[in-house]
Chain A
Amino acid sequence: MPVYERGYTHWESTGGRTYPPWWVIARRGITEPLRSRWFLLLLVLAWIPAVVKGTIIYVKARTGNLLDLLGGGWASLSGDGVLAFIEGQRFFVFLLMAIVGARLIAMDRRDNGLALYFSRPLGMFDYIAGKTLIVLFYYLCVTLFPVYALCVFGYLVSAGTTGVNTLVVIPLQTTLFCLFAGVGMSLVLLAFSSVGKRTIFITVWWTILFMGSEAISALFAAGGFNWLEFLNFAGQYHNAGSLLLGTEPRLDIPPVVSMFLTLLYAVLALLILRRFVRPVEVVS
């Protein structure tokens, strides 16, 4: 029996809810890595620092200020403590973003997926926004969400004595910072992903940018060339974050300069994405 005799019926909509394409792309991209046990394990590991910090907060709340030395600023729920916690998470940020983000556009380019996406009623904004949300979500998973949890936990264990600062101000400031840094880093990673078709090379470049730039900048700083700290990619975000969280600068360069640099990264990333995210590849 020819296959077509199995029948074909035209589609009649049930009138259900439809979602914008960027949301469909983001939802699928966010749920896909969660099928891997290793990835879930990594997420659990990424929350261990938050659990440790929560434990310290709990013990401090029970024993007064006796344990202030334990954990220092890192263990507090001040702006400084939150930024220190997020800085401490940068290894997990690097790893999760590399695992999730490096392949996002590269695989689509390799499989001619861009033409497939753009044969649907969606535009470049939908595509890039959807992909950015995927990376951003996992960035927030190991930075913002633990801070939220710690703020609520800290408020509860202090029986409300920390007031609105822990429950409102710090979460708001952290949200602002994490969205700023998360979107910026996500765009840069996606720009990397869009220029190549092999995930391994993109991961290598991301490693050089994220970890290598920090190492190089630390070497220069050790040699007295502190002004070369502008080479530190991730450090720029944290330094700029000191403006948003009202803390001391993280680097020896003004936070405003870091803010400008991070915005420049984002603009460059968008220009690269605009160049490479196309349904039709132009080859000379």
Chain B
Amino acid sequence: MDSSRDNVNRTDQGQTDTRIVVDDLTFAYLRDPVLQGVSFTLQKNAIGLLGPNGSGKTTLLRALLGHLRVPPGKVSVLGLDMAREARSVRARLGWMPERGGVIEGMSGVALVAYMGELAGMPTRDAMQRAHEVLHYVGLADERYRPCQTYSQGMRQRLKLATALVHDPQWLLLDEPTSGLDPKGRVAILELVGDLAGHKGFGVILSTHLLADVEAVCREILVLREGKLLAHQSVTADTARRQVFEVEGFGPEEAFLTALRAEAVSVERDGRLILVTLDCGGDSDDEVAGGEGRTSEDGVGQDDHLRTAAGARRILAVAQRTDYAPRRLRRRPISLADTFYELIDTNESR
């Protein structure tokens, strides 16, 4: 009956542009701008959308969904302008809201099938898919229960199932682990990681939980007060610089002087000497799609090589200055370090 939405099926689309492009997007609900000059291009990947409360994360997601009126040419999803073709784009987007999003009075399977039909799926397909995706998210046994009897963790999984039922290209997840216990959080993150890593979905994960992003995302978008502070790979800082902890004995002042000539910074942390080395990595390349070689334990082989090279540089300085290190260890740079550095740098400006 409604042929405009018949092309929901990904095999029928014949579409090549899977990017999300935002170009100089500014948006205000009332007078105060919530987004200011935000620009980025996202390839299909797992992307963490980070920022403090009120930084514009949810507004940005809503702009991507076409819920907000934005001027033509500002937001383009899958090659289509959201100002003009939001409805057809939404057939290929899956949205998981932070709060609510569960219509009470329906069973889990009925709700998911209903959402599938609203996305333009044939009735029988929607019901079949509802069973499949509920099985996938781990709600197979509870699918006939009324939604209002679901626990918070089950509700989150149900919302993920409603986002997945029409097999979208991109998933927009707003705080998917909000209110979950550690076990439930791990289960949701496993699902999200699997969808992004193995099932070919683009995922935008909006959260203020850095550990969630670190667990599943490869890129981050950092927003603060409506401005985009950074768009980089999660490991960009690891690729760009390394921090080593050094402890030893010998002519320490000579060692420190020699190190300062080699390193970005040399600081004292109690008995430890913290040496920050510039690795010359290029974060922009990583965002553009470079994945690097990865070993079985999930750590990049390039990263191991960089660590070894850094250690050799420090040992060479120690040898030159007759300093005898008894401890040399690389201190991991967490996403939290990166995030707070970005926020602090922005604040100090």
Interface residues of A (CB under 8 A from B): 2-4, 6-21, 23-25, 28, 32, 107-108, 110-113, 115-123, 279-280, 282, 284
Contacts and interface: CB of A to CB of B under 8 A. Distances in A.
B175 interface: no
Given A2-B190, A113-B100, A17 B1 contact: yes
Contacts of A3: 136-138, 187, 190-191
A141 B125 CA distance: 31
Given A17-B122, A28-B114, A119 B190 contact: no
Contact of A19 (B102, B117, B137, B195): B117
Given A18-B6, A121-B119, A116 B97 contact: yes
B264 interface: no
A121 B5 contact: yes
Contacts of A117: 118
B345 interface: no
Contacts of B1: 17-20, 23
B68 to A, nearest CB: 7
Contact of B67 (A4, A13, A115): A115
A121 B90 contact: yes
B101 A111 contact: yes
B89 to A, nearest CB: 8
Nearest to A126: B118
A121 B82 CA distance: 12
B136 A8 contact: yes
Which of B68, B100, B164 neighbours the largest number of chain A CB atoms within 10 Å of its CB? B100
A23 B114 CA distance: 12
17 contacts: A4-B193, A8-B133, A10-B167, A12-B9, A16-B124, A17-B123, A18-B117, A24-B114, A32-B106, A111-B101, A111-B103, A112-B100, A117-B118, A120-B91, A120-B118, A121-B4, A121-B91
A18 B97 contact: no
B30 A6 contact: no
A38 to B, nearest CB: 15
B194 A4 contact: yes
A37 B200 CA distance: 46
A115 B101 contact: yes
Given A11-B10, A16-B122, A19-B123, 10 more contacts: A14-B124, A16-B123, A17-B122, A19-B1, A21-B2, A113-B101, A116-B115, A119-B67, A122-B118, A280-B29
Nearest to A9: B132
B125 A14 contact: yes
Contacts of B102: 111
B172 to A, nearest CB: 8
B12 A24 contact: no
B87 interface: yes
B199 A280 contact: no
Q: For the side of the interface on B, what is the size category?
A: 35 or more
Contact of A6 (B99, B135, B164): B135
A30 to B, nearest CB: 13
Nearest to B94: A119
Contacts of B88: 121
B244 interface: no
A116 B103 CA distance: 9
A19 B119 CA distance: 10
Contacts of A115: 67, 95, 97, 100-101
B100 A24 contact: no
B65 interface: yes
A32 B107 CA distance: 11
Which of B2, B5, B133, B194 neighbours the largest number of chain A CB atoms within 10 Å of its CB? B2
Given A16-B125, A113-B100, A280-B67, A4 B136 contact: yes
Contacts of B57: none
A6 B187 CA distance: 13
A18 B123 CA distance: 7
A119 B90 contact: yes
B168 to A, nearest CB: 10
B119 to A, nearest CB: 5
Contacts of A7: 136
A18 B132 contact: no
Interface in B302-321: none
A107 B6 contact: no
Interface in B52-100: 62, 65, 67-68, 87-88, 90-91, 93-95, 97, 99-100
A13 B122 CA distance: 8
Given A19-B123, A113-B100, A115-B95, A25 B195 contact: no
Given A116-B100, A120-B119, A280-B68, A32 B105 contact: yes
A28 B118 CA distance: 11
A122 B106 CA distance: 20
A110 B121 CA distance: 26
Contacts of A279: 62, 65, 67
Nearest to B63: A280
Given A11-B167, A121-B5, A18 B87 contact: no
B162 interface: yes
A111 B104 CA distance: 8
B166 interface: yes
A8 B195 contact: yes
Contact of A108 (B10, B103, B164): B103
B134 to A, nearest CB: 10
